[in-house]
Amino acid sequence: MVKKFCPKCRSFSYSAKTQGRWICPSCGYDLTLKPILMLEQSDRTDVSQIKTSQAKK
């Protein structure tokens, strides 16, 4: 997984894909041309917790 930072709402957006259109899920800003950032260890923990909580719903 990778992430991009949204300058409009100042949050990170995460995705498994690195190509194609990328829209911020929080505010709708087009992040397609923004640089791709690699995940850090803390991101990996946060993302796995989100996936686990979504699976329980």
Task: Give dist(CA 8, CA 29) in Å, integer.
Answer: 7
Q: Using only the alpha carbons of the chain, give its radius of gyration.
A: 12
Q: Write the single-letter amino acid at 46.
A: D
pTM for the whole structure: 0.70
pLDDT digit of tens for each residue in the chain (57 aa)?
Answer: 899 999 999 999 999 888 999 999 999 999 999 999 988 877 766 555 555 444 554
pLDDT value, residue 23 = 96
| Contact between residue 9 and residue 27 where contact means Cβ atoms under 8 Å apart | yes
Q: ∠ CA 47-53-54 to the nearest 5 degrees?
A: 90
Q: How many domains does the chain have?
A: 1
pLDDT value, residue 43 = 76
pLDDT value, residue 39 = 85
Tokens of 40: 């850090």
Domain coverage including residue 31: 2-55
